[in-house]
Amino acid sequence: MTTRIRPSSKRCAVIGGSGFLGRHLVERLVEKGYSVAVFDIAQRYEVPGVVFHQGDLCDKQALLKVFKDVSLVFHCASPSPACDDRNLFWKVNVEGTRTVIQACQEARVQKLVLTSSASVVFEGIDIKNGKEDLPYAKRPIDYYTETKIQQEKVVLEACSKEKDFLTVAIRPHGIFGPRDPQLVPILVDTARKGKMKFIIGDGTNLVDFTYVENVVHGHILAAEHLKPDSPLCGKAYHITNDEPIRFWDFMSQVLVGLGYEAPRYHLPYTLVYGIAMLLWLITFLLRPLVNIKPTFTPMRVALAGTHHYYSCSRAKQDMGYQPVVRLQEAIARTVASYPHLKRGG
Ligand SMILES: NC(=O)c1ccc[n+]([C@@H]2O[C@H](COP(=O)([O-])OP(=O)(O)OC[C@H]3O[C@@H](n4cnc5c(N)ncnc54)[C@H](O)[C@@H]3O)[C@@H](O)[C@H]2O)c1
Ligand SMILES: CC(C)CCC[C@@H](C)[C@H]1CC[C@H]2C3=C(CC[C@]12C)[C@@]1(C)CC[C@H](O)[C@@H](C(=O)O)[C@@H]1CC3
């Protein structure tokens, strides 16, 4: 029998560490004295002391090489929600995550922290101060959400004190901040095309947008509090800025900060949602011939026209979570980080 000496609890791997959240996480872990290995299909930057491994998380042998001396794994890789590719989402988010769990167990990794999403309970109906005990969406709006639900279930079910393998899922919502490739760039692109003049619905719907450093803080707290006798084992945790804001006020503040006009004219929610569904159906039918990506997808319209904010009291209670950057400061830092997206820039 081979005995394995336990690696230090500060030796970790970040799957998806080249991405927006992953890179912020890696940078913070390094600041906190962790030794970090990144596993990602692409390498997009360099940080002294961080070892990069390029590979697909569906490849167990490639994962095993990286997990050899690691006690903690963060899994924050996913195809982009914008790709809307059902097969890819199932392959990476569900099958790939099963492979990650097998590799963790074979390599005797002790802790797995998954980046899930608060959207696993969202199906286009208002959620106000939603807690983690809300049921998973029965009819998820898109393939991304469908597979994030399965992914979270698979990870939480794998938690086993007997096997010395502990898991926890972090559910952030609407992550934003410097280098985000999604929220601000799509918003600016839509504004530049003259399509951000309209407010979907009456504009009073409250939502969570969460600054990336708060999300990182939640992940590290979860990793450090995940122990055999802690309440975190096999549980999901909302991590938000804890400051719900009107969706359209947030959009307006970012747009005005970057020199664009705030949306002004109202359109009925059901009308825009109906058009988005129709557009999605047309693009779905045309997909074998041409791959069109509509700006207004049913998911985006649903997020823009409903309330969806979540309680993070469970994270406060079980791991002492408090946001470290307030919302207004976070918006200011984000706007300042995108000089190239300014109007006329
Ligand atoms: N951005 C948000 O608002 C948000 C909100 C809630 C949850 N999340 C979750 O947070 C995580 C990170 O999201 P992000 O916004 O940083 O996305 P991102 O696209 O910037 O990063 C994802 C990373 O995963 C990598 N990746 C994709 N497929 C892979 C594969 N097969 N093998 C290895 N690496 C692979 C990509 O190369 C990329 O670097 C995701 O799990 C996402 O579902 C994001
Ligand atoms: C075209 C306009 C109506 C809106 C333009 C901005 C949108 C691109 C973003 C506003 C809210 C964002 C969001 C996500 C993607 C980008 C937006 C739709 C997610 C769906 C990304 C995936 C995450 O898991 C979701 C989450 O639960 O946090 C995000 C929800 C918010």
| Cα 37 to chain centroid, rounded | 20
3-class SS at 326? coil
Ligand 2 site, residue 300, Cβ cutoff 6 A: yes
The answer to whether 144 is a known catalytic residue is yes
Please name which ligand lies nearest the alpha carbon of 115.
Answer: 1
Minimum-distance ligand 2 atom for the alpha carbon of 175: 28
Q: What is the DSSP string of 136-186?
A: PPSS-SSHHHHHHHHHHHHHHHT-BTTTTBEEEEEEE-SEE-TT-SSHHHH
pLDDT in tens, the chain (345 residues): 445 556 777 999 999 999 999 999 999 999 999 999 999 999 999 999 999 999 999 999 999 999 998 999 999 999 999 998 999 999 999 999 999 999 999 999 999 999 999 999 999 999 999 999 999 999 999 999 999 999 999 999 999 999 999 999 999 999 999 999 999 999 999 999 999 999 999 999 999 999 999 999 999 999 999 999 999 999 999 999 999 999 999 999 999 999 999 999 999 999 999 999 999 999 989 988 888 888 899 999 999 999 999 999 999 999 999 999 999 999 999 999 999 999 987
Where do the domains of the chain lie, and which CATH numbers do they carry?
11-180+209-241+310-325 (3.40.50.720)
Considering the entire predicted model, what is its pTM? Answer: 0.96
Map tokens 């890696």 to a residue: 26
Q: How far is the C-alpha of 74 from the C-alpha of 107, rounded, in Å? A: 15
Contacts of residue 329, defined as CB under 8 A and 6 or more positions apart, other chains included, come to none
Q: How far is the C-alpha of 9 from the C-alpha of 3, rounded, in Å? A: 18
| C-alpha atoms less than 13 angstroms from C-alpha of 194 in its C-beta half-sphere | 0
Retrieve residue 92's tokens.
């990476």
ipTM tops 0.95:
yes
Nearest CA to ligand 2 atom 9: 183
25, 216 in Cβ contact below 8 A?
yes
Which regions of 16-126 does DSSP assign to beta strands (E)?
35-40, 51-54, 72-75, 111-115
Residue 159 phi, psi dihedral angles, 5° rounding = -65, 125
Please name which ligand lies nearest the alpha carbon of 45.
Answer: 1
Q: Which residues line ligand 1 (CB under 6 A)?
A: 16, 18-22, 40-42, 56-58, 76-80, 92, 96, 115, 117, 148, 172, 174-175, 181-182
